[in-house]
Structure 1
Amino acid sequence: MVHNTAKLGAAASDVVVAKVAHGLMSMTLRPTPVTDEEAFAAIKAGIDALPVGAKLFLNSAEFYGQGFSTANLELVARFFEKYPDYADRTFLSVKGGTLPGQLVSDGSRENLRRSVDAILKALRGTKRLDLFEPARRDSNYEIEQYAESLNEMVKEGKFDYIGLSEVNAETVRRAHKVMPVAAVEIEVSLQAYEEQTKDVIATCKELSIAVIAYSPLGLGLLTGHIKSRLDIDESDYRRLFSRFQDENIGHNLQLVDALASIATRKGITLAQLSIAWVGALGDHIIPLPGSSNVKRALENLVAGDVELSAEDLAEIAQLLEKYPRKGARYRDSISDKQLLLWN
Structure 2
Amino acid sequence: MVKTTKLGVGATPVNLGKVGHGLMMMTWTPKPVPDEVCFESIKASLDAVPAGSKMLINSGEFYGNNPRESNLELIARFFEKYPEYADKAFLSVKGGTKADSLIPDASPENLKRSVDCVLAKLRGTKKLDLFQSARVDPNVSIEDNIKTLSGFVAEGKFDYIGISEAKASTLRRAHAVHPIAVIEIEVSPWSYTQEVKDVIETSKELGTIVAAYSPLGRGFLAGKFKSTADLEDGDYRKGLQRFQEEEMKINVNIANGIKAIAEKKGVSAAQLCISWVCSLAPNVVPIPGSSNKSRTVENTASADIELTPEEFAEVDKLLKDNPVQGGRYFQGSDKQNHLWG
Question: TM-score normalised to the size of structure 1?
Answer: 0.96
Superposed displacement of residue 9, structure 1:
2.9
SS in 2 for 1:219: coil
Counterpart code for 1:273: L
Alignment partners' CA distance in 2, 1:140 and 1:148: 15
Tell whether the 8 Å contact from 1:67 to 1:101 is kept in structure 2 after alignment: no
Change in CA separation of 1:327 and 1:166 when aligned onto 2, cut-off 3 Å: same
1:31 aligns with 2:34: no
Tell whether the 8 Å contact from 1:12 to 1:161 is kept in structure 2 after alignment: no
SS in 1 for 2:211: strand
Superposed displacement of residue 71, structure 1:
0.8
The Cα offsets for residues 64-88 of structure 1, whole Å up to 9 and x where unpaired, read as 1114621111110111111111100
1:251 aligns with 2:250: yes
Alignment partners' CA distance in 2, 1:23 and 1:225: 17
Structure 1 unmatched runs, 5+: none
Counterpart code for 2:16: V
1:335 match: 333
1:212 aligns with 2:175: no
Superposed displacement of residue 31, structure 1:
2.3
The Cα offsets for residues 28-67 of structure 1, whole Å up to 9 and x where unpaired, read as 1122211111111110122122222221111001111114
Alignment partners' CA distance in 2, 1:336 and 1:102: 18
Superposed displacement of residue 179, structure 1:
0.8
Alignment partners' CA distance in 2, 1:193 and 1:68: 34
Tell whether the 8 Å contact from 2:98 to 2:105 is kept in structure 1 after alignment: yes
Alignment partners' CA distance in 2, 1:65 and 1:295: 24
Which moves more between the two structures, 82-91 or 197-206?
197-206
Change in CA separation of 1:64 and 1:12 when aligned onto 2, cut-off 3 Å: farther
Tell whether the 8 Å contact from 1:68 to 1:101 is kept in structure 2 after alignment: no
1:96 match: 95
Counterpart code for 1:334: G
Structure 2 unmatched runs, 5+: none
SS in 2 for 1:79: helix
SS in 2 for 1:78: helix
1:133-212 to 2 correspondences below 5 Å? 133-212=132-211
1:127 match: 126
Which moves more between the two structures, 3-12 or 309-318?
3-12
Question: TM-score normalised to the size of structure 2?
Answer: 0.97
Which moves more between the two structures, 103-112 or 59-68?
59-68
SS in 1 for 2:221: helix
Q: Count how many residue pairs are aligned between Structure 1 and Structure 2.
A: 341
Alignment partners' CA distance in 2, 1:224 and 1:130: 34
SS in 2 for 1:340: coil
Superposed displacement of residue 262, structure 1:
1.2
Counterpart code for 2:99: P
Change in CA separation of 1:67 and 1:102 when aligned onto 2, cut-off 3 Å: farther
1:294 aligns with 2:315: no
Superposed displacement of residue 335, structure 1:
1.8
Alignment partners' CA distance in 1, 2:272 and 2:55: 20
Tell whether the 8 Å contact from 1:133 to 1:165 is kept in structure 2 after alignment: yes
Tell whether the 8 Å contact from 2:30 to 2:232 is kept in structure 1 after alignment: no
SS in 2 for 1:327: coil
Counterpart code for 1:340: H
Change in CA separation of 1:302 and 1:13 when aligned onto 2, cut-off 3 Å: farther
Alignment partners' CA distance in 1, 2:149 and 2:48: 33
Change in CA separation of 1:69 and 1:113 when aligned onto 2, cut-off 3 Å: same
SS in 2 for 1:273: helix
Tell whether the 8 Å contact from 1:22 to 1:291 is kept in structure 2 after alignment: yes
1:60 match: 59
Superposed displacement of residue 303, structure 1:
0.8
Which moves more between the two structures, 274-283 or 242-251?
242-251
1:232-251 to 2 correspondences below 5 Å? 232-251=231-250
Superposed displacement of residue 201, structure 1:
1.3
Counterpart code for 1:160: D
Which moves more between the two structures, 221-230 or 269-278?
221-230
RMSD: 1.4
Change in CA separation of 1:68 and 1:204 when aligned onto 2, cut-off 3 Å: farther
Alignment partners' CA distance in 2, 1:292 and 1:136: 25
2:302 match: 303
1:281 match: 280
Alignment partners' CA distance in 2, 1:200 and 1:329: 17
